[in-house]
C-alpha cells in the first residue's frame, strides 16, 4: 500500500502524498499494489497481483495491471469483522 510517490514530471522530483482507504469488508489478495489516493470500497476485492490505480466501487472485483473490473461480489456477506485475525 503506497501512500506517497515521486512526481516523475517534477523538475525537483517532489513527493506526492495521499491516503489509501480500505473500507469495511474490502479484501486485497496477495501481492496487490495500491497507489496513493485510492479508496477500496466496502466489500470490494482486489485480485492477486492487481495494481490498483483508481478507486474501486463497493462490491466490485478488480484484477490486472492496471486493475479493471472483472466481476461483482455478493452483498450478502455473513461473516463478522473482528479485532483479532488468526493466521494459521
Residues identified as active-site: 6
Cβ-contact 65, 82 below 8 angstroms: no
Cβ-contact 71, 52 below 8 angstroms: no
How far apart CA 83 and CA 74 sit, in angstroms, is 23
Q: What is the dihedral sign for C-alpha 61, 62, 64, 68?
A: positive
Give the DSSP H/E element, type plus range, for residue 52. strand 51-52
Amino acid at each position: 500500500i503506497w501512500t506517497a510517490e515521486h512526481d516523475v514530471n517534477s523538475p525537483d522530483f517532489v513527493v506526492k502524498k495521499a491516503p489509501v482507504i480500505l473500507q469495511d469488508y474490502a479484501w486485497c489478495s496477495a501481492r496487490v499494489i495500491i497507489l496513493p489516493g485510492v479508496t477500496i470500497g466496502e466489500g470490494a476485492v482486489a485480485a492477486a497481483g492487481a495494481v490498483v490505480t483508481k478507486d474501486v466501487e463497493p462490491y466490485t472485483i478488480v484484477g490486472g495491471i492496471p486493475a479493471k473490473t472483472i466481476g461483482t461480489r455478493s452483498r450478502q456477506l455473513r461473516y463478522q469483522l473482528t479485532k483479532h485475525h488468526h493466521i494459521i
